[in-house]
A and B are shown apart, each in its own frame.
Chain A
């Protein structure tokens, strides 16, 4: 009797296991075919001298040579610094601007929903359309922005997207403007989850607006800030789309970031092995930054 019950129990467990494997099978196959296999093949390619335009029979294993070459490659190091520069401008820019607008929208503001929609609109707009609008606005000679600056007495207004020094800040400005909507909505949800009682208690204790923001709001929205910061950093590395549409990496190489450089190495200069090695470096950088942030969050993220 006991044996039969044990056997039935084993059979049930086996069935459950099969069902379990069945459930994870589609994901596992998808993960292996579309993520793990390409990742592993990328690592393998990065160790070769594969060229886009060469016979596969001529491909040689070069070990870490591609990674070593990067150190002395001014094009790569330049692109790396520009990526970091872009990241340093974009992440604080988008976090600060979206938090500011979320605060604004969270208050009893006149035409609140219209303003919220207006801020969110660029996020769902096509990047090409955005590029056309900004190209008109930032037209160096006849654009309204420079016309205003000239009217204000600026003799040599910036070249914006055409300037060697202004290209990246201009792109960041446009991308921040485009992304504020998404970041703002997430911040807004976080702000609305902060219990009102805490503000009331703080008010009774005589806390001012800034103290309430610093001691209550910031800590309680820190999980959201953490999530959005990671998202913003990852976004800032994946900047190929806006740069390609707005400047194509120019003028000169002024806005050639790592992602643009990888594209150019692959599809302009046909050095697949080398460009894949650069992509691996970018992947490791993003991973390292995320891990560091994840570990460091204990110090500043408050989970209620």
Chain B
């Protein structure tokens, strides 16, 4: 028996997407406030049980919240010394998200902004949710493998893995993780994932935006067409934010001739060689 090619389902998918791709760019604007009725779409690739087939290799498309290189969810421009209002809109992306921090948390954010070297991802730690998906645009894909019991996200970045059961099972007790604990269910054609049990160590970006152990995320994955997943996340954290933070971007299917690669960060990590000791690194500052 020969191996089954990964791309075996793509022929059908591509025929469908040619029609829909022109519509997808305006999709975000049309659906920015309300998801459409969950009428099953006859054109989506599906698994035998009828659920949308999210499988494949996906890449956050341009216009995501965390831009290329300068990772800031709220438009903070690190290159400009931390002033807010960086060039998000100029790149055609969605308007900057405005976090509304509690007073204590805002002081903490500003403090962390000055110490970007403490960003856990810079030390090769797991990014947490939703940062695992909100990687700088176009850099790291996610491979999705799915069956009737789970949807597994294999992220190239940080070789981060989430195996999400889709049976709406409850969160465990006394479990605190970088990526939290993900429990999924299907709401019509939308995969809704409830993420809780965070350990409070993760940042949301490179600019000091952060959450603590009270973070709670509700994610929605919807296959818009065979080439596009619309991703939405609502982040609540009552001890950090005054109101929920909404995030939305699209994942586009990676052409079938490309593959996920291995990520190694801790192995061969050299960034700490370049930080001075007072910045938490190993380099001695030359006076």
- The yes or no verdict on A and B being binding partners is no
